[in-house]
C-alpha cells in the first residue's frame, strides 16, 4: 500500500495552480509604474482603457482576458506583443495622456507610437487574435526579382530597400520603420543578388517612389539611425497636404489637429497645385499644429452649406477647429505673403473665435459705424455685435464620445 507525503501533495497543487495562473493570467494590468517600460520594449501593445463602474467595460473584461491568454500562447516571444488594460479611474494621468473620453476604448501602440485609429472591430477572442496576427505580419515584401515592383499598387507610395542580407542592422531599422508606416506606404526589399546592381557595392540603400512611373529619391542620411530613417520616410509616406474623403475623415479627425481645408470643384486641379505650393513654401512649419487638406466641394457640400456657400463659390479655404468653421475672407489673397499664416495665427490666439462671437477687435481697422458717421465722428472702431459662427461639421464624422449604442452591445 502506497503512502503519500501530505507536504508533497500540497506542493504539487501549488505547482499546478502556478502553471495554470501563468497560462491564464489574462491581460497585463498597466499603471504608472510599468506603462512606459512596456510600451517602449514591445512591438505591439494593445490596450483596453476601462472603468470598473462602466457595464460595457465589465462585459468586455472576460473576453479581453481570454484574448490576452490566446495571444500570449500564439506569440510567446518577449518583446513582440502585450495585451494590457488600464483602470482609468485609478490611472487618470495615463487616461488623460491618451485623451480617453469613453469606456471601454481600445487603442494600439506600435513601437511606442499610438496608432492613428482606435480599434472598432468585432469584440471577440477570434477578432482580437486575428487583429494581432495582422499587426505582426511582415510589413515588407521581399522581392525575388526587380520586375515585381511593377506589381505594386499604383495608388500607394512605396519605399524600396536594397540590402546584402536580411540580418544587416540597416534592414532591421528599415523593418521597424516599415512596421510603423505600413498603412501609409508599401515597403519592398531587394536582398543580395536581386538588387545588387541598384546600389553601391557593400552599401545598403533606401529609395522612395511616389508612384511606379516616377523617379526614385534616394535617402542620403545614416541608415543606422532609426530617427533619421523614420523622419525621412514619414515625410514622404504621409504628405504635408492630404485629401480628405468620407473613408479617412474619422482617422484624420482622431489626430486631433484643426483642419485647414481647400474646397475645390472636382475638375479643378489648378487650385490644388496652388494650395500645395503655398503650404510647402510658407506653412510647412505649422504641420504640428494643423492638418492641411483638400476636399471635393461637391462631395462635401454639407460643410459648404454651413458656411453659406455652394459649388458656384468654389474654390474657397476654411478652418474647421472642431468647434466652429472659419472662412478665409478672400481666396484670391491666399498667396499674398503672410496672409494665410496670419489666418492660422488668429486661430491659435483665439481671435477668430472671439471676433466671430463679438465682432472685430477694437484695434481692427474697419469702416466707421453708422452711429459714428451720424455723429460726425472719425471713430474707426465697430460696435461689437454677437455673431453665430458656423458649427464644425467634420467633428460629426468622428466617433461619438458617448458610443453606448445598440451597436456597442452587438460588438461586446
202 CB contacts (<8 Å, ≥6 apart)?
164
pLDDT tens column, 208-247: 998 888 889 999 999 999 999 999 999 899 889 999 998 8
- State the pLDDT confidence band at 20, using cuts at 50, 70 and 90: very low
Q: What percent of the chain is modeled with pLDDT above 70?
A: 81
Residues counted in the chain: 412
- Let me know the angle formed at the C-alpha of 396 by 394 and 398, rounded to the nearest 5 degrees: 85
Q: Which residue has the higher pLDDT, 49 or 380?
A: 49
What are the start-end ranges of the E strands in 80-202?
A: 81-87, 105-110, 113-114, 140-142, 158-163, 186-191
| Full set of structural domains in the chain with CATH | 21-136 (3.40.30.10), 140-237 (3.40.30.10), 246-395 (3.40.30.10)
> What is the spatial distance between Cα 174 and Cα 279, in angstroms, rounded to a whole number?
29
Q: What is the pLDDT at residue 253?
A: 85
Q: What percent of the chain is modeled with pLDDT above 90?
A: 59
pLDDT tens column, 28-41: 999 999 999 999 99
- State the pLDDT confidence band at 114, using cuts at 50, 70 and 90: confident
Q: Which residue has the higher pLDDT, 254 or 196?
A: 196
Query: Residue 71, exposed/middle/buried by CB under 10 A (0-12, 13-18, 19+)?
Result: buried
Weakest mean pLDDT among 36-40, 187-191, 203-207, 390-394: 390-394
Q: What is the pLDDT at residue 289?
A: 86
Q: What is the mean pLDDT of residues 143-152?
A: 91
Query: Residue 326, exposed/middle/buried by CB under 10 A (0-12, 13-18, 19+)?
Result: buried
Q: What is the mean pLDDT of residues 299-303?
A: 92
Q: What is the pLDDT at residue 406?
A: 28
Q: What is the pLDDT at residue 404?
A: 36
- Containing 296, the helix (H) or strand (E) segment is strand 291-296
> What is the spatial distance between Cα 223 and Cα 203, in angstroms, rounded to a whole number?
10
Nine cell digits for residue 185: 506606404
Q: What is the pLDDT at residue 376?
A: 36
Which residue's entry shows cell 503650404? 279
- Determine contact, residues 281/230, Cβ cutoff 8 Å: no
Q: Is the pLDDT of residue 276 over 80?
A: yes
Q: Which residue has the higher pLDDT, 117 or 61?
A: 61
Q: What is the mean pLDDT of residues 366-381?
A: 35
Q: What is the pLDDT at residue 41?
A: 93
Amino acid at each position: 500500500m502506497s503512502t503519500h507525503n501530505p507536504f508533497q501533495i500540497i506542493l504539487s497543487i501549488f505547482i499546478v495552480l502556478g502553471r495554470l495562473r501563468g497560462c491564464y493570467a489574462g491581460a497585463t494590468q498597466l499603471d504608472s509604474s510599468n506603462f512606459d517600460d512596456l510600451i517602449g520594449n514591445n512591438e505591439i501593445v494593445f490596450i483596453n482603457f476601462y472603468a470598473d463602474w462602466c457595464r460595457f467595460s465589465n462585459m468586455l473584461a472576460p473576453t479581453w482576458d481570454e484574448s490576452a491568454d490566446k495571444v500570449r500562447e500564439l506569440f510567446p516571444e518577449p518583446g513582440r506583443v502585450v495585451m494590457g488594460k488600464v483602470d482609468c479611474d485609478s490611472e487618470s494621468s495615463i487616461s488623460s495622456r491618451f485623451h480617453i473620453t469613453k469606456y471601454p476604448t481600445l487603442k494600439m501602440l506600435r513601437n511606442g507610437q499610438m496608432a492613428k485609429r482606435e480599434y472598432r472591430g468585432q469584440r471577440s477572442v477570434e477578432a482580437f487574435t486575428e487583429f494581432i496576427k495582422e499587426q505582426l505580419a511582415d510589413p515588407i515584401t521581399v522581392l525575388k526579382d526587380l520586375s515585381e515592383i511593377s506589381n505594386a499598387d499604383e495608388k500607394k507610395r512605396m519605399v524600396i530597400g536594397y540590402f546584402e542580407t536580411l540580418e544587416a542592422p540597416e534592414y532591421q531599422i528599415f523593418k521597424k520603420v516599415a512596421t510603423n508606416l505600413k498603412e501609409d506606404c508599401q515597403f519592398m526589399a531587394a536582398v543580395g543578388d536581386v538588387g545588387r546592381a541598384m546600389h553601391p557595392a557593400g552599401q545598403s540603400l533606401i529609395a522612395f517612389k511616389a508612384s511606379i512611373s516616377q523617379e526614385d529619391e534616394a535617402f542620403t542620411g545614416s541608415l543606422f539611425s532609426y530617427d533619421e530613417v523614420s523622419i525621412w520616410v514619414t515625410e514622404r509616406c504621409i504628405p504635408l497636404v492630404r485629401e480628405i474623403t468620407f473613408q479617412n475623415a474619422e482617422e484624420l479627425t482622431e489626430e486631433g489637429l484643426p483642419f485647414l481645408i481647400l474646397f475645390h470643384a472636382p475638375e479643378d486641379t489648378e487650385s490644388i497645385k496652388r494650395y500645395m505650393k503655398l503650404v510647402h513654401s510658407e506653412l510647412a512649419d505649422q504641420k504640428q499644429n494643423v492638418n492641411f487638406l483638400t476636399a471635393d466641394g461637391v462631395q462635401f457640400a454639407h460643410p459648404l452649406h454651413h458656411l453659406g456657400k455652394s459649388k458656384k463659390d468654389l474654390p474657397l479655404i476654411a478652418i474647421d477647429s472642431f468647434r466652429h468653421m472659419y472662412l478665409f475672407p478672400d481666396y484670391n489673397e491666399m498667396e499674398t505673403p503672410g496672409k494665410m499664416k496670419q489666418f492660422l495665427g488668429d486661430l491659435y490666439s483665439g481671435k477668430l473665435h472671439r471676433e466671430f462671437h463679438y465682432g472685430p477687435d477694437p484695434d481692427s481697422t474697419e469702416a466707421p459705424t453708422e452711429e459714428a458717421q451720424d455723429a460726425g465722428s472719425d471713430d474707426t472702431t465697430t460696435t461689437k455685435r454677437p455673431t453665430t459662427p458656423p458649427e464644425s461639421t467634420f467633428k460629426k464624422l468622428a466617433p461619438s464620445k458617448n458610443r453606448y449604442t445598440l451597436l456597442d452591445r452587438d460588438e461586446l
